[in-house]
Amino acid sequence: MTRIDESRPFIPVRIAILTMSDTRTIAEDKSGDTLAALTTEAGHTVAARALLKDDAEAIRAQVSAWIADPEIDVVITTGGTGFTGRDVTPEAVKPLFEKEIDGFAILFHQLSFQSVGTSTIQSRACGGIAHGTLIFCLPGSTGACKDAWNGILKWQLDNRHRPCNFVEIMPRFEEHRTKV
């Protein structure tokens, strides 16, 4: 299913990682550490990293700042996608999306089902594009982060992946803003 065309040169992307937690510090952030390690192992750059409390305004402000930063291609969040009162990541981030990547949530749940069974319904993982920046909101567990990375993001963020990937179409995300 996944095929890497080794004849093409690899193009690294710059990824910002944002963890939401009311209980952890950056030093205790296993999910953020996992995503940072997977990003680096794949040959990409961790362009920024932060940890915030579950506060919709603060989350939206940080993601907005990264969307506006030309040195960041992708934002990956972890945490805050559940159903408790303090889980607000989708509410904070989805209004920023110009286009939602519906297939990301669908595929994430298919992969997650293999790991955690029906408990996958307790996640509101989502993805979208805003001003040319890819954004993926993942649950806070390290297992969910690994499932999303190894099953989806690793491949879609590799320009050598065939038959298609996000990296090769990233330059076209903003074409609707340019005059012909």
Per-residue pLDDT, averaged over 133-158, amounts to 98
Per-residue pLDDT, averaged over 87-111, amounts to 97
Evaluate if residue 5 carries a pLDDT over 60: yes
Sheet holding 14-20, edge to edge: 45-52, 14-20, 74-78, 133-138, 126-130, 99-100
The domain limits of the chain are 12-175
Domain over 12-175 is classified CATH 3.55.40.20: no
Evaluate if residue 17 carries a pLDDT over 90: yes
Question: Helix, strand or coil for residue 35?
Answer: helix
CA distance 29 to 93: 21
pTM, two decimals, is: 0.96
Grade residue 1 by pLDDT with cuts at 50, 70 and 90.
low
Read off the DSSP letter of residue 10: P
What is the predicted pLDDT for the residue at 178?
Answer: 76
What is the predicted pLDDT for the residue at 176?
Answer: 86
Evaluate if residue 161 carries a pLDDT over 70: yes
Query: Of all helices (H) and strands (E), which one includes residue 130?
Result: strand 126-130
Using one digit for the tens of pLDDT, what is the confidence trace for 32-44?
A: 999 999 999 999 9
Using one digit for the tens of pLDDT, what is the confidence trace for 44-97?
A: 999 999 999 999 999 999 999 999 999 999 999 999 999 999 999 999 999 999
Evaluate if residue 171 carries a pLDDT over 70: yes
Query: Of all helices (H) and strands (E), which one includes residue 105?
Result: helix 102-116
